[in-house]
Amino acid sequence: MLRHYLVTYDICDDGRLRQVHSIVRDFGQPVQYSVFLARLSDSHKAELKRRLTRVIHHDHDQVLLFDLGRAQGQHEIEAPVHEAVGRSLNYDTRRVVIV
């Protein structure tokens, strides 16, 4: 099943930044420079994370994948769901609003 993901990144090194941009562009469509919308199967998501894991500096860089729901039909999001490659995102889910 395909799901929509919002993929964002914050990379500390210009060389790694270009590599991450290229990798994410292979899987999604740019919305802004470091923000992409991707329709991913479980296997494509695993491949994206595998490729990113090889490139980023896990203590300094951050790639976030926000699951926006199924790629077909209406989207209902109970709470923002994210996965991080590298630094984790720390936030209070009671204060998150998706517009």
55-91 confidence digits (pLDDT tens): 999 999 999 999 888 876 554 444 556 677 877 766 5
**Residue 84 burial (C-beta neighbours within 10 Å; 0-12, 13-18, 19+):** middle
- CA dist list (Å): 86 to 53, 58, 81, 99: 8, 4, 16, 26
Q: Is the predicted pLDDT of residue 95 greater than 80, yes or no?
A: no
The mean of the pLDDT values for the chain is: 84
Domains of the chain: 3-95 (3.30.70.240)
- CA dist list (Å): 36 to 19, 24, 92, 95: 15, 7, 23, 23
Token code pair at residue 30 = 């740019």
Summarize the confidence of residues 2-14 as an average pLDDT.
94
At residue 91, the pLDDT reads 58
Q: Is the predicted pLDDT of residue 12 greater than 70, yes or no?
A: yes
